[in-house]
Amino acid sequence: MDYTNFNMRLDNDLRGRVYPILEQYGLTPSQAVRMFFNQIAQTGKIPLSFDWAENQTLTPKAAARLRQTEQEFANGEFERFYSLDELNQAIKESSHG
């Protein structure tokens, strides 16, 4: 099997965000790109979803609740929590009515 070198430009911000994630999976950038290319070659498709923006609408009830929440926040009508325990306790209390 013959090999070829493949070089690409990558901005530092993206590199800084991606490399730690690849490391968590035990992958080098070269291995990740090779996996991506192999998947394209095997399926004839790009293994990414580009349909995320499609049909991403809220139900009327959810849209109304979102507007209400935004208005409450704008009016300063929200509770502050200073620890995760406080937040968890409030969630527990609100879920039990």
Mean pLDDT on 83-94: 90
Q: How many domains does the chain have?
A: 2
Residues 41 and 66 in one domain: no
**Boundaries of domain holding 17:** 1-50
> Could you tell me the two tokens for 71?
């208005």
pLDDT in tens, 36-68: 999 999 999 998 876 655 666 888 999 999 999
- Residues 5 and 44 reside in one and the same domain: yes
Report which residue type is found at 75: N
Q: Which residue has the higher pLDDT, 87 or 96?
A: 87
pLDDT single digits (tens) 1-35? 898 998 999 999 999 999 999 999 999 999 999 99
Distance CA 97, CA 88 (A): 15
Which phi-psi region, left, alpha or beta, contains residue 57 (left: φ > 0; alpha: ψ -120 to 50)? beta
Cα 79 from chain centre: 26
